[in-house]
Amino acid sequence: MAVVYPRKFQSSLGAMSARDILGQVVRDREIHHITLNRYRFSEQRSCKDLTDLIEQLNGQPAALVRDLSRHISDEARHAMWLTDLLTDLGADVGTPPGSSYIEEFERLLDQEQNSPDNVDDFVINSLAAINVTEKRGCEYFSAHIYALQQAPQTEENVKIRETIEKILPEEAGHVRWGNRMLAQWADKSPEYREKVNQAKQKYAAIEQAAFECGMDITLGAELRRVGNLLDIANTMPLWQRPQYLAERLPHAFLAPDLQRTRIAIAQRAWSRDPQAFVEKFIPLFLGGLNRNTPAEKAKL
Ligand SMILES: [Fe+2]
Ligand SMILES: [Fe+2]
């Protein structure tokens, strides 16, 4: 049976893995806290979504309702651990700024096809949707742990790592549960195998699109603008470049068509420390841009 894993972030800069992204995230305390708060929000929201699912199932199949109620209990505990962690760190536990991965995912869901009128299709679709987001969670949490193992072992970093290390094995359990359930449905008949495969493909595609829209804060449309600015700056003497970029980068980032998430983060980073913004954000982009051939660059 087809096994669908979340793909890496694909952009004109090439694939950026969760490890690449988290390696950058843990270097900036504010972005680190925002990322943790996004985890918290997702865990908390999944309690609500899984409760909705139980209500829609309305008691059938009972075994699935039982599994889901346990699942909600796990997710509630994860939200609690992350909320405890964030409040201990004095970090924000408000609704994260901008569009979120989870909202984008919901927006992209095909509500009509996912109506509970056909219970089997509804259950298969729901399981496939849960499964692919749980896989993404595992990928991120394990990359986050890896990044924190490489980072300075401050009291705060150790605390964050210990919290994520408590959550990850339970998320892996959720993935195994989803795999098992989907395999059981697929074993019913060739027709069901096809249904399951289609649901897996569909939700993997939806998840990937949601992820690319809402999750990654280091790449996106602004990159192309920044790329153009860097091209111009590269024609100037070295000493003139920081000034040129410092004057124009905010505009490149704050263009209205760009996502609010990244804008909020860029704005904050900028207002906090323009010098660090240039020094820390720009290398993120330069690393990717330098890998492109002139022909690829022309396409940006
Ligand atoms: Fe969780
Ligand atoms: Fe989970």
Q: Compare 15 and 132 and report the one with higher pLDDT.
A: 132
Residue with tokens 């996106």: 220
Q: Return the sign of the alpha-carbon dihedral for residues 76, 107, 25, 277.
A: negative
For residue 97, cis peptide bond before it (omega within 30 degrees of 0) = no
Where helices occur in 215-289 by DSSP H, the ranges are 221-233, 241-254, 260-272, 274-276, 282-289
**Per-residue pLDDT, 108:** 62
**Per-residue pLDDT, 205:** 79
Task: Specify the CATH number for 18-214; select among 1.20.910.10, 1.10.10.10, 1.20.210.10, 1.20.120.80.
Answer: 1.20.910.10
The amino acid present at 7, given as its one-letter code, is R
Nearest partner of 95 among 35, 33, 41, 46, judged by Cα: 41
With cut-offs at 50, 70 and 90, classify the pLDDT of residue 267: low
pLDDT at 51 over 80: yes
With cut-offs at 50, 70 and 90, classify the pLDDT of residue 83: very high
Least confident span in 38-52, 155-169, 228-242, 269-283? 269-283
**Across the chain, what does the average pLDDT equal?**
77
Residue with tokens 């049976």: 1
Q: Compare 57 and 205 and report the one with higher pLDDT.
A: 57
What share of the chain has pLDDT > 70, as a percent? 61
pTM: 0.70
> 95 and 41 in contact (C-beta within 8 Å)?
yes
The amino acid present at 298, given as its one-letter code, is A
**Per-residue pLDDT, 44:** 93
Ligand of minimum distance to the alpha carbon of 44: 1
Instruction: Write out pLDDT tens, residues 223-243.
Output: 555 666 676 777 767 777 777
Q: Compare 202 and 208 and report the one with higher pLDDT.
A: 202
Ligand of minimum distance to the alpha carbon of 43: 1
What are the respective helix, strand and coil percentages of the chain, to the nearest 5?
75, 0, 25
If you measure from the C-alpha of residue 226 to the centroid of ligand 1, how many angstroms do you get, rounded to a whole number?
35
Calpha distance 202→63 (Å, rounded): 25
If you measure from the C-alpha of residue 292 to the centroid of ligand 1, how many angstroms do you get, rounded to a whole number?
37
If you measure from the C-alpha of residue 41 to the centroid of ligand 2, how many angstroms do you get, rounded to a whole number?
13
Calpha distance 22→148 (Å, rounded): 9
With cut-offs at 50, 70 and 90, classify the pLDDT of residue 269: low
pLDDT at 192 over 90: yes
Tokens of 189: 């008949």
Cα→Cα distances 118→54, 206, 213, Å: 15, 21, 30
With cut-offs at 50, 70 and 90, classify the pLDDT of residue 117: low
Q: Which residues surround ligand 1, an ion (CB under 5 A)?
A: 43, 75, 78
**Per-residue pLDDT, 179:** 97
Which whole number is the average pLDDT over 75-84?
98
If you measure from the C-alpha of residue 58 to the centroid of ligand 1, how many angstroms do you get, rounded to a whole number?
23
Provide the residue ranges of all domains of the chain, joining segments of one domain with +.
18-214, 221-299
Q: Which of the residue ranges 73-77, 133-137, 234-238, 264-268 has the most confident prediction, judged by mean pLDDT? A: 73-77
